Structure 1
Amino acid sequence: MADTLRRLVGSEACKILQEKLDDWYSNYHINSCDQNLSQCCELIELNSKVQGQLFTILSVTARQGGHYGGIDTIKSRFLPWLGTCFSLSSPEVSPDTSFSILQESMDKEKRLRELTSTQEKEIQVIEAQLTSTRLELDRVKEDLTETQMELEDTKTKSATTLLATEDEILQLRADLRASKEMAAVNERKLNILNEHERQIRLLKDEINLLSTENSLLQNRNPWCENMLKKVEQNEEGEDTFIRLSRSRSTSPLPLSSKSPRASRPSSPFPSLRSESPTSARHRNASRQSRLISCFNDIYVNDRLDAQNLLRRYIDDLEMVQRIIFIATTESFHAAKLAFRQFKLRVRKSLSSCHTGAESLEDAVIDYLVRNLDLYDVQSSVNDVIRAMNVNPKISFPPEVDFILISSFIREVCRIVFAMQTLDPPLDIAFSADGELFNESKYRRSFDSEFSAPLVVYHVWPALIEDDCVVMKGEAVTKRGSLWSPGRSKSRGSSPVRARSASPGRNMSCRSRSPSPVRRSGTPRF
C-alpha cells in the first residue's frame, strides 16, 4: 500500500489535475465548445486514473485491517456515496434534490448550446460584415491610388507649363532690357551728335570773334582804343553777349563757364589787363573744390551705376571692383597724356604771337581753362579700353566688352583733364596690390578684415595734391588671401603692370578734405 501511495504522490497527478483545472477556468470563455469539451474529457480521464489508484489503495488498506477493520467508515461514507452515483458526497442530500440538480444542469447545458449557436451566428454576421468592409477598403485604396496618379500627372503638367512660362518671362525681360539699353545708346548718340553740331556752331562764332579781335589788335587806332575801353567798362554787357553767343555744354564740369577767365571771349592773345595773384589763387581754389566735388560724385553715383551694370555679367564682386579701379587709373593716364599733347599744341600756336605782361604759360593755361570742350574725350576713352583689354589683372565675359562702361570712363577723363589745369594739378596716389595699408590714404571697405595689414586690392584711388591727400580712397584688406591660388583671373601670362600715378607721389600728409560720402549707410572707420 505504501508503494502504491508513493507512486501516486510521485506522479503528481493531483497537481497536474489542479493546473489543468486552473488553465481551463482561465480560458473557458475564450475556447470554443469543442475545446472546452475536450479539456473536460481530459480532466475526467485524469480523474479516473487518480480514482483507480485511490480505489487500489482503499482495497489494500481494507485488506490490511482484517475482516472488521474500517468497516464503519466504509458503511458510513463510502457505500452511501456509491449509492448516489458519485453525485453527492454528503449523505444528507435526498434523491429529489439530486434529480433537481440534474435537471438544472441539463437546462444550463441547453441554454449554453443556444448561446453558443447564437454566438456562432453573430460571429458569422460579423465576419460577413468584415469581409464587405475589407472589399470596400480595397476599392477605396484603388481609388486613392488612381487619384494620386492623376495628381502627379497634373503636377508634372503644371511644372512643365510653369517652366515654359518662366522661360518666356525671362526672355521677354531680356528683350526689354536689351531694348532699353539700345534706346539709351541711341539717345546718347543723338545727344552727342547734337552736342557736336552745337560745338561746331560755337566754334564758328568763336572764329568770327577771334578774327574781329585780331583785326582790332593789328589795326589799333585811337578810335579802337576808345572802343576797347568802353567795352572793358561795360563788362557785364560783354559777359551777357558772350554767354548768348557761346553757351557752355551740359558737362559735369561747369567750372570754366563761371570763372572770370571764361567770361571773356577766348583768344590766343593775352588779356589787355593783368589780374592780381590773390584773385588767381582764389579762382584756382574754387575750381579745385568744384573738381573734388565732381570726383566725389563720380565715386558715389557713377561708380555704383557702373558696378551694378557689370554685375549683370560678372558674379564676382572683387573682379567688378578691380575693373572699375583699373578703368579709373587708366583714365587718369590717358587724360594726362592728352592734356600734355593738347598743351604742347596750344603753346606752339601761341608762342609766335604772344605779347603782353602775362606769361606764355599763364596764357596757355587760360586758353585751356576756357576751351575744355575742345578736348577729344572719345580718343582717351578708346585708349583706356585698349589698355584694359591687355591688362592681366582683369577679365571680362567674351560676349560683352569694356565699352559697356564707356560713359563712366568718359566722365572720369573729363574730370581728370580739368584737374590738370589747376596749379598744382590733382593726381592719384601710387597703388599696388599687397602694399601696406595706409590710414592717411585709404579707408577700409565694409567687408575688409580690419586687423589685416596688407591691401588685397583697391576699390577707389586716393586723390593727392603735391603728395598731400585731399580725398581718401577705398581698399580691401584681408588675411591669407593675397597670394592664395586661383585669385588671378588674367587673360594672359604677361606680368602685372604698375601704371598708377608717379611713384614719387606715394607719400601723403594730413587730409585736407573729408572722405567721399557713400551712397549706402555703411559706417566708415
Structure 2
Amino acid sequence: MFKHDFVILYAGGIYGGASAIKSRLLPLLGSGFFVSGLTPSTSLSVLASTSAKTSELEDIKKAYSKSLEKLESDFRASCRENSRLKSQLENVKYEATQKQVDALRDELDDQNLKSYQSRLHSLEEENQRLQTKLMQKTQLETGGRRNTTTSDKNGATPDEKIEPYQVEPVTSPVSGISPLSSYDPLQRSRHQLAVMRYNELFSGGRIEAMGILRRHLDDHDMNQCIIFHAVMEAFNVAKAHFRIYRNRVRTKLASATSPPSIENLDELVQSHINVHATYAVDVASMTEEVKIAMERLVPRLRIPSTALGFNVINEFIQDACKLAWECCTLAQPLDVYRPVYANEVIDDTKYRRSHDSSYSAVLVHHHIWPCLVQNGSVIAKGEVCTKRGRPVYGVYGTPSESENVSGRNRTHGNTRSCSPILRTASPGTRNLRSLQRLERQLGRAPVRQHLR
C-alpha cells in the first residue's frame, strides 16, 4: 500500500510525495509501525528525518507567506505613492497652466492699459492745444479790435496794418492731429467755407459786378473777361502777399529766444497763420495792385469807365482778394487754374459751358469764371463760352493775332520794306509810371513791388 502511495504521490511537490505521507500517516501508526524490511533503529532515524523535514517545510511556508505579504504591502504602498505622485503631477500641470493664463492676461491688461494711457494722453494734449488756441483767438480778437482802433486813430501806415500783432514762439508741444494735415478739423472747416464762398462769389458777386459793368460798357463778352481777369489777378496778388507774410513769420519764429525744432517749425508757422492771418491781410493794398495789374492788360481789355477805370467794380475786387487770401492761408492751399490760351480746347473736367455757348464748337471763345483746384484736383468747375468766331484776344500775355497779322500783311506802293512799327506804351503802363513818379516825389515806398 505504501509503495502504491509513494508512486501516486511522487509528483506532489512541496505538499505531496513520501514526506507528506510519512509525516501524516506514521504518527498515527504509533510505535508499532515497522516497515517491512526495516529495523527499529532505522525506522526511528526515518521518523527523525521526517520531523526535521516537516519543521523545515513549515518554516519555508511561513517565510514564503511573510515574503508574499511583504510584497503585497509594498505593492499597495507603491500604488498609493503612484496615485499621490499622479495627483501632484496633475496639480503642477494645472498650476502651470493657470500661471501661463494669468501671465497672458496680465500682459494683455498691460498692453491695453498702455494703449489707453497713450490715447488719454494724446486726447488731453489735443484738448489743451485746442483750449489754448481758443483762448489765444479770443484774446487776439479782443486785442485786435483795440489795436485796430488805436492804429486808425493814430494814422498808422499800411505796412503797420499788415501785421498788427507780435509773433510769439509757441512753447507747448504740438501734438494730436497736425495743423498741416488735411484731416485737421479746422482745416476741413476752412476748406469747406472757402469753397462755399467761392461758389457764392460766382452766383452773387459776379452777377452784381456784371450789372455794374453793363451800365458803363455795352459788351457782354468783354465784361465777362474783365470779371475773369479780376479773379485771376486777385489770386496772383494774394499769393505774392502771402508768400512775404509766411516768410516773415517763419523768420521770426526761427529767430526766437527758444527756437523750435525743424520738425515743429512748419506746424508752428501754420498754427500762427491759422490764428493771425485773418488780421494780417491788407485788402486795400491788394485791391490797388489788382487794378494796376488789370490796367496792364488794357490793350486786350477795355476800360469800363474813362473817369473811374476799374474802380467801378472795386467792391467785387475786394471780395475776390479776401477770398484769395483765405484760400492761400490753408495748409493745402486752393488756387485757380491758369489757361495758357484763350481759345484752348474745352476740358469738361474743369469747365462747364455757358447758356449762350455753341455746343458744336470745341474751342473756348472766352473764359467766364476760373476753375478752383487743389494739388491738381478740381474742387469747383469754372465756366467758359464756346462759340464760333474770333476770340476776344489771343495768347495770354501777348498781343492778339489779328494785330500781328494786320501788321505783317500791310502793303505799300513802293518796293521798299516796311518800317518797324513803333509800339507805344499802353495806358496802364503810363499810369503805373506816373504813379511811381508821384511816389518818388512824395518819398514813399512803391506800392507795387511785385508786378510779376
Q: Which has the higher contact order (CA 8 A, sep 6+)?
A: 2
Q: TM-score by structure 2 length?
A: 0.49
Q: TM-score by structure 1 length?
A: 0.43
